[in-house]
Amino acid sequence: MSPAELMENFQMLMNWEDKYRYLIELGEKLRDFPETDKTDANKVEGCQAQVWITHRVEGDKHYFNATSDSHIVRGLQAVLLTFVNGLTSQEIQKLDMLAIFKRMGLEEHLSPSRRNGFLAMTNRIFSLTF
């Protein structure tokens, strides 16, 4: 799914319960995450949930995989990865994920700890692309 399609899907959902269910569905569609990748090096600090992100570069494009022990956080990871996978470092650095997060209508409905976790995941991805 493209970022534009994802944004459109979220904007069509009028209530938080539908957005919440959609986030969980997105998280269920993430690629399998090998247990061997659940290491301290791949763990994202600053999240209440257990969160891991792996990173690889092909040519000048970055690709990430992620998982969490929280269904809603996996959904947030799916949103984040939709926007960053396959981009160059420069393209990723130009993204304003917080603004995207707000436009999707997620900002006002998630707890502060989940918002902070989303920012921690975003910061981790940005740091991996320098």
Which CATH number does the domain housing residue 89 bear?
A: 3.90.1010.10
What strands lie across the sheet with 61-68, from one edge to the other?
51-58, 61-68, 87-88
pLDDT digits (tens, 9 = 90+) for 103-122: 888 877 788 888 888 899 99
Q: How many domains does the chain have?
A: 1
CA distance 49 to 72: 10
Identified catalytic residue from 6, 47, 80, 84: 47
Confidence label for 78 from pLDDT (cuts 50, 70 and 90)? very high
**CA 15 remoteness from chain centre:** 21
Predicted pLDDT at 92 = 96
Active site residue 47: yes
User: Which residue range is the domain that position 77 belongs to?
Assistant: 3-128
Whether 84 has a pLDDT exceeding 90, the answer reads yes
Which one-letter amino acid corresponds to residue 23?
Answer: L
